[in-house]
Structure formats: C-alpha cells, structure tokens
Structure 1
Amino acid sequence: MAPTGKGRATYHHGDLAAALVQATLEIVDEVGVRGFSVAEAARRTRVSPAAPYRHFADRDALLAAAALEISRRLRALYEEAVPDVESPQERLAMVAGSFVRAAARYRGGLDILFAPGLRAAHPEVRESGREFVDMLLPSAFAVLPPGQGAATAVALLDALHALARGYVAQLLDGKFGDPAEVVEEIAARASQAARTLVAGYRIPDGPAAGDAVIC
C-alpha cells in the first residue's frame, strides 16, 4: 500500500482489505467511530462504493477487522516492551504504559477496539481481548497471595485496564499537553501508578504467611 496524499492510499495485488482497514483507522482518528462510513473508506482507497462489500459484509464487519488490527498492534507494543522483564509485577505495570503509547500512536483505534456492541456482535474481537488477558494471567497469579483464585487475578487485570484507560482518556483530551510530545512522560506516569496498584495485590514481603508480627 502506498500513500497518495493526506489520508489516501492505493492498494495493489489484492490488498484491498488491508487498505480498507488502514483507511478505517485514519477516518476514525479524524471523526470518531460514529462518523465512520464505508463509503468514505472506499473513496480514500479509490475504489467503487460497492467494492468494500466484496471483503466485508457490512460497516461493523469492517470496524471489527480494524479492531483486530489494533489489538494486534497493541499486543506487539507490549511484547516489544517486556522481552527482558522477568518480574511479574513489572510486566503488569508495563500494560498501562503500552496502552498510553498505543493511544498516542493510533488514537481512534482504541475507540474501535472498545466500541459498544462491536465485541458482542463479533466474537473474534472478544477473543482477541481474551488472548491478551490469557497472556497476562500468569503474571497476575504470580503477584497474588497463595489461595487467590482466577476471579482475583481477573479483577487485578480489570483494575489495570481501567487505570490505563483513564490515562489514555486524559492524554487524548489534551489534559497533559500535546500527546505526541508528552507520550513517554505519561506512559511512565501510568506505569508508576500501575506499580502502586499491583503492590496492593502482591504477596506481602517480610514474615511468611501465618507468622505472627509483634508490634
């Protein structure tokens, strides 16, 4: 796919589906999920209004494909950040920083990923989120006290997700300044806040569980 001007791309060798997904991400960046239309995606890829429907059944199917692409990119950002990180606490903390970086880089892509109704109508989008959770669960279990079950591990991951999305919302609203200029600073802040959150769930340091502590 080659750029042909602002917001435009051509496709070649049967890559129309990929070009349409990229156009979708660009459009949502500019006008949000509600403002997205298949007709505009077709215009930007310089095909007929009917051409996208050879690859995608409807508007939501194209949005779902874009959500899967963002999910893949988000996972790649996270995996780039943690290959040398052995601490499960730090692996979890880096989730928040990865979300902030993804938001600054892809902006509206996260809105697609969490668009109301899209996950319910398209199981593949739900599954992509479940795969990310499954990747994080071993780290979540590692920081929990013995005997804590899957519900607590999932609760920890949900809390991390909520924290990260809070930073993302403020970043994209311009609360911290130009997102492109402050992204690394805010990613570091989000990761530090996540470390504090994870610490509240961690196995206590010091005497082993069951030992008396005399004050």
Structure 2
Amino acid sequence: MAPTRRGRATYHHGDLPAALVRATLEIIDEVGVRGFSVAEAARRTCVSPGAPYRHFADRDALLAAAALEVSRRLRAIYLETVAEVGSAQERLATVAGSFVRAAARYRGGLDILFAPGLRAAHPELQESSREFVALLLPSAFEVIAPGEGAEAAVALLDALNALARGYVAQLLEGKFGDPEEVAEDVATRATRAARVLVAGYGLPSGPADG
C-alpha cells in the first residue's frame, strides 16, 4: 500500500471498502459522528468524492460498515481475554473489561456501534449483536439461580451491558484520566464490578424471608 500525504495507507487492488472503513473510524475518533463526511473519507484514501458510493449506498451505509468492523474487533478482544477463563461467572465478568479495552482502542467506534437509528436500518448490525448474545447465553444459563429461565439469563446480559457501557462512558469522558493510560486499570475495575453483579444473579429470586 502507498502512504498518503497524512502518512496513512491508501487502498490497493480492490480493497477500497476496507480502506474507507479505516478512514471512517479515524475521522470519528477525531471529530465524532456528526463531523464525519464521506468526502473526507474519500480524501484520506486518495480517491474521488464519488468513489465510495460505488461500494456504499450512502453515508449511513459506510457508518454501518464501520460499526460492524468495531463489533468484530470487540468480539475479538473478548475472545482473546476469555480464552483462558474457566468459570461461567468469570467469562461473563470479562465482558465489562472487554468493552473498556475496546473503547480505549477505538473510542468513537463504540458510539456508532450502539447508535439506535443506525442499528434499526441495518440488519447486519442487529445480527452481529445477536451473535454476541448467543456467545454469552450459555454462560448466563450456568450462572442464574436454579429455576430461573431464559428471561433471567437475558436480564443478566442486559445488566452487564449497562454496567459495561457506563464504565465506557466515564472512561471516554476522561473521568479516570487519559483513556489510553488508564484503560487497563478501568477494565480491571469494570470486571470487578461485573463479578459482583453476576454473583447476584446466582441468588434465588423472590421475597426475602421474614
């Protein structure tokens, strides 16, 4: 690949869609989703302003492709982290830390990954979410209290998602310091909090005795 004037790599031999996705994620990191334009992505990949539209129908289609790439990267981070984890409880707790690590690496990419309007219009993003949930559900069923059903397992995953995204939001807001410098510490905190949450779902539900 040839370097651009900004020192980035341009596409080569038909890899324009992937290059545009990379440029999209770079731009969103710098100026956010609102500041993103297809024209700027084209400029950074050294193609004409109209070239991206031969691969993506519109701006949202390119954003959806970038969100799908972030989803793949998040999944890869989780699988790498959980590879040597034995218990179902710890596999679930690891989700929170994985979200934090992904946010530190890809920042704005998490915003487009969870953008509700984008997800509603692009089934591939919804399918990616379902695949991630399917990856976690067996562990959730191992953790929930005896007698609880699928609703409890899904509720556990929803709660984990909320906890993880809360830590991500605070990380990116700079509450803990520079995101890149503190990412691992915050990932550890998030995982610790997730352990407590997961442990609670192993308790029997219903009114307290007495």
- Deviating 4+ runs (over 4 angstroms): none
Whether the 8 Å CA contact 1:7–1:23 is kept in 2: the answer is no
Task: Establish whether residue 34 from structure 1 lines up as the match of residue 40 from structure 2.
Answer: no
Q: List aligned pairs for 1:60-71, cutoff 5 A.
A: 60-71=60-71
Question: How many residue pairs end up in the alignment?
Answer: 205
Structure-2 residue corresponding to 1:143: 143
Whether the 8 Å CA contact 1:9–1:23 is kept in 2: the answer is no
Q: How does the TM-score come out when normalised to structure 1?
A: 0.92
Whether the 8 Å CA contact 1:143–1:203 is kept in 2: the answer is no
Q: CA deviation at 1:203?
A: 4.9
Q: List aligned pairs for 1:185-204, cutoff 5 A.
A: 185-203=185-203
AA matched with 2:27: I
1:2, 1:192 → 2: CA distance? 44
State the Cα deviation string for residues 45-90 of structure 1 (Å, max 9, x = none). 0100100001001111101110110000000000001111110000
2:36, 2:7 → 1: CA distance? 14
AA matched with 1:50: G
Structure-1 residue corresponding to 2:168: 168
Structure-2 residue corresponding to 1:210: none
Structure-1 residue corresponding to 2:50: 50
1:80, 1:183 → 2: CA distance? 16
Structure-1 residue corresponding to 2:127: 127
Whether the 8 Å CA contact 1:7–1:26 is kept in 2: the answer is no
- Alpha-carbon spacing, 1:6–1:175, altered in 2? closer, same or farther (3 Å): farther
Q: CA deviation at 1:7?
A: 7.1
Moved more, 17-26 or 194-203: 194-203
State the Cα deviation string for residues 120-158 of structure 1 (Å, max 9, x = none). 000100110110000000000000112211111111101
Structure-2 residue corresponding to 1:208: none
- Alpha-carbon spacing, 1:71–1:51, altered in 2? closer, same or farther (3 Å): same
1:153, 1:32 → 2: CA distance? 34
State the Cα deviation string for residues 2-27 of structure 1 (Å, max 9, x = none). 54354743110100000000000001
State the Cα deviation string for residues 76-120 of structure 1 (Å, max 9, x = none). 000001111110000000000000000000001100101130110
Point out where structure 1 has 5 or more consecutive residues left out of the alignment.
205-212
Q: CA deviation at 1:31?
A: 1.1
Structure-2 residue corresponding to 1:80: 80
- Alpha-carbon spacing, 1:191–1:3, altered in 2? closer, same or farther (3 Å): farther
1:3, 1:129 → 2: CA distance? 34
Structure-2 residue corresponding to 1:110: 110
- Alpha-carbon spacing, 1:8–1:117, altered in 2? closer, same or farther (3 Å): same
Point out where structure 2 has 5 or more consecutive residues left out of the alignment.
none
2:202, 2:118 → 1: CA distance? 34
- Alpha-carbon spacing, 1:124–1:145, altered in 2? closer, same or farther (3 Å): same
Identical counterparts, % of pairs: 80
* CA RMSD across the alignment: 1.5
